[in-house]
Structure 1
């Protein structure tokens, strides 16, 4: 298990976004229109609108930074290779829209593990991520094994994960959604999420 501080600082812009429904609606509206101001604004209103848009874009970038920091903090700055049998993919794997906007739209950021060339492993592909659900930070995991004998839906990941035999996408338990991991806080206490990540890694290692 990795030894590290279990607090994760939250950028001020992200705190404000998740603390106020009115502020959140304003930010969402400006981002939805991609900074294109309404036609009926006067010069002073236009100036205020563009400053709000700049703040909205900073919020979106800060949210991406937080997701990356959380992902590295909880899953590891470098993902484990399980004895060289797996390797982490570059950010453009799957030809995804590798942008701050896509992470904002999904409210998630995840990383990929695939078999190292020439290695012998049951894992064909694994995704490890962090996800914001209603303002709460949660973990997300999915993997596929080569013969489908042990898909992620059947794997016991520990008490920190919701069991769902009908869904290969696994999420940390709703019971972990406390104020300690709500993004309106100045810092998140991610000790329970860290334990869940460590439990998941240990179980994944057992079948690689």
Structure 2
């Protein structure tokens, strides 16, 4: 076989091999393009699905918001009304307290001297009564022996043991001294009733 023929045959084989691999490469590229196209379509579908869901969620939220607008408006109004009422109540309370304090100060200014003098008079009356209770046994009109009188103070003023100084028969008197227009207290009346109804007895306590 001639050299030129062999060379042509080899060149033909090389071209065939190159053509075959070129065809395979083109086939691979086409397959890749198909895969990329499918992936692109899948990605696009997923994106469209995602955005469609987002749009639906937003639309649903907007619909809920539109439905709740009256409720939200009422809630806002109620909150505003309550805040205004509380604010007004606080203002009125502060004004009332201020007015009451001013009235109290005016009342104190008007009646302070009167009640102060009344308290002084009452105190003087009480002191005078206490002094009188202690000194009455030494008064010339006191009907008992002062040595036989024992001052107690409360709930009655004194007890008189008439005859005790002579160690004779003893009569016991429960004595309450009153000055001015004063009257017996409830406890003093109870003691008086017990004496007048013979509910008085003697007891000894040994300890």
- TM (norm. structure 2) is 0.22
More helix by share: 2
Higher relative contact order (CA 8 A, sep 6+): 1
- TM (norm. structure 1) is 0.22
Bigger Cα Rg: 2
